[in-house]
Amino acid sequence: MSAAPLRFRWATRTDTGLVRDQNEDAVFPDPGTAGEAEHLVAAVADGMGGHAGGEIASAAAIEAVATVSGPATIRVNAANLAVQEAAAQRPRLSGMGTTLTLAIFDGDGTVEVGHVGDSRAYLLHDGSLTRITADHSFVAEMMAAGRMTQAEAEAHPYRSVLTRAVGLEHTVEVDVFEHELAAGDRVLICSDGVTALLEDEEILRILTEHDDPEGAADALVAAANAAGGIDNVTVAVVDATPAGSEEK
Per-residue pLDDT tens digits for 20-55: 999 999 999 999 999 999 999 999 999 997 656 999
Q: Which residues of 52-73 are buried (b: 16+ CB within 10 A; e: fewer)?
A: bbbbbbbbbbbbbbeebeeebe
Residue 1's alpha-carbon distances to 111, 179, 239, in angstroms, are 10, 9, 17
Q: What is the mean pLDDT of residues 108-136?
A: 97
Can you give the pLDDT at residue 1?
A: 43
pLDDT band at 94 (very low <50, low <70, confident <90, very high): confident
Indicate yes or no: pTM above 0.85: yes
- Closest C-alpha to 79, from 49, 50, 116, 42: 116
As a whole number of angstroms, the distance between CA 143 and CA 134 comes to 11
Residue pair 190/44 in contact (Cβ under 8 Å)? The answer is yes
245: pLDDT strictly greater than 60:
no
pLDDT band at 91 (very low <50, low <70, confident <90, very high): confident
pLDDT band at 248 (very low <50, low <70, confident <90, very high): very low
- Of 49-58, 185-194, 211-220, minimum mean pLDDT range: 49-58
As a whole number of angstroms, the distance between CA 54 and CA 217 comes to 23
Interacting residues of 213 by C-beta distance below 8 A, sequence separation 6+ = 9, 10, 11, 34, 186, 237, 238, 239
Following DSSP, what letter does each residue of 152-169 receive, concatenated?
Answer: HHHH-TTTT-BS--BTSS
Q: For the CA atoms of 197, 201, 206, 208, what is the dihedral angle to 10 degrees?
A: 160
192: pLDDT strictly greater than 90:
yes
Mean pLDDT of the chain: 91
218: pLDDT strictly greater than 50:
yes
pLDDT band at 138 (very low <50, low <70, confident <90, very high): low
155: pLDDT strictly greater than 80:
no
The angle formed by the CA atoms of residues 197, 201 and 207, to the nearest 5 degrees, is 90
Q: Which residues of 225-241 are buried (b: 16+ CB within 10 A; e: fewer)?
A: bebebebbbbbbbbbbb
Higher pLDDT among residues 162 and 152, named by residue: 162
Residue pair 16/225 in contact (Cβ under 8 Å)? The answer is no
Residue 128 identity? S
